[in-house]
A and B are shown apart, each in its own frame.
Chain A
């Protein structure tokens, strides 16, 4: 029974993610005074990629890499409570808490890294080293923020963190712990990976970063993961800092706004080099995070 609910919410999240991606692309196109792709373009791309006829593989890990990647993405989804107070849409969140989700993100990265690594394309590896380097520093403000709110609420359970934020706008973490929220939201920019932090897969330069060699079904899986991951990360931040959601509508609205914030920054700013972004993450967001921790203790 649980599995059916999980599948149902997965269906929602997947579709929402695809639509969101389409709409966001359309919005960014409008910013550039274009019309842009149809909102259903992600669906078409996905279908096309899954329908690619010829396929080759560099080896076992190249083959399994995308599976790992998608497992990582779906894994986070599986352990994330979606709707507060709704047992049906809490997925498997009773098996693990916030820490599990934070560390589950690594599985996807590892999958990508292994797959791309066996692909043997040097540019993929360059992309991966960039991605990993950047990710380590993104995690610094993120960790500080998580510690801060865990200390604030004295719990690591996402459901309980959400529960503690119920009862109005003023109870949200963004109001009760603005420093942690600020640090985490800056980290969020890096997690989503739009500009200024998208040198990882800077198109043409290296040519696509990690997925350079991936095609067809593999690429389809990576795309699927990407849309899910973006939504789930938004939902995570929603749960931690913006009071969670008590129904699907609230979830969609909040997740969209959080995601849109990253997109907004991404369309406005140019790109950082990797050492610049490392320094940046270890500077302002980290200071904010440290302040958040100091104030809470």
Chain B
């Protein structure tokens, strides 16, 4: 059934900003059922453009310590493999390494995850998705950089489309070096992360919110076709 289009796409002006706008995000003129026409701007109308806010820790020390303990003992990893390192994550759940022992579990949705493991080299294209996913995780959230590539680009240090330093783009809590790091190294990384959280240092989300403009500038520097609101809720 050929559906009749009930809208008219308005061609955007030929500016630098709109250069990478995708057709589905062009403004469009639609007709309401009562005949009135108005313009829908998908970017503004369909996405929340509020900036992230830092969330202060609980003011009662002991409570915050308890909560931090709970957070450290219940680390839910976002099941998102960005590079070759993701192959090292899956053995963690096998009997040999069994990361469940440490309260590390996998979640398929960013909404319910606390830890984002950037597993290896991160191409610019993936970076965009990684940032989106990171921003969609609720605070407090942690990032673990896996492998040399996230630290300094590794063997791809002069590549045309991978980033070199992950912490330019999102606050990293723990780096696990190696190419590739073994699952044991990952487990050690988890231990390190737990320690940081328990010490109250796992405030990457707040850091991101506070230095939001800086991070965003860095991100936009490499991601040329930024065609979204600045923060992805």
Contact = CB atoms under 8 A, between A and B. Distances in A.
A and B touch in the complex (CB under 8 A): yes
Interface of A: 29, 32-38, 41, 44-45, 47-48, 51-56, 203-204, 207-208, 211-216, 219
Given A44-B74, A214-B111, A34 B139 contact: no
B contact patch SS: loop
Contacts of B55: 53-54
14 contacts: A32-B95, A34-B94, A35-B100, A36-B98, A37-B103, A47-B66, A48-B73, A52-B140, A55-B138, A56-B233, A207-B108, A208-B112, A211-B112, A219-B111
Contact of B108 (A38, A48, A203, A215): A203
A37 B106 CA distance: 13
Nearest to A45: B74
Contact of A35 (B53, B67, B73, B101): B101
Closest 4 CB pairs of A and B: A207-B108, A53-B55, A54-B139, A215-B111
A207 B109 contact: yes
A212 B139 CA distance: 17
A47 B71 CA distance: 8
A212 B111 contact: yes
A29 B100 contact: yes
Given A47-B66, A53-B139, A204-B108, 5 more contacts: A33-B95, A35-B101, A47-B67, A48-B74, A55-B138
B103 A44 contact: yes
Given A32-B95, A33-B95, A215-B138, A51 B112 contact: no
B161 to A, nearest CB: 27
Tier of interface size on chain B: 20 to 34
Nearest to B107: A208
Interface of B: 48, 52-53, 55, 66-67, 70-71, 73-74, 79, 94-95, 98, 100-101, 103, 105, 107-109, 111-112, 114, 138-140, 205, 233
A38 B79 CA distance: 22
A224 to B, nearest CB: 15
A216 B48 CA distance: 19
A216 B114 CA distance: 11
B111 A204 contact: no
Contacts of B66: 47
B112 A215 contact: yes
Contacts of B94: 34
A216 B138 contact: yes
Given A35-B98, A56-B233, A212 B109 contact: yes
Nearest to B233: A56
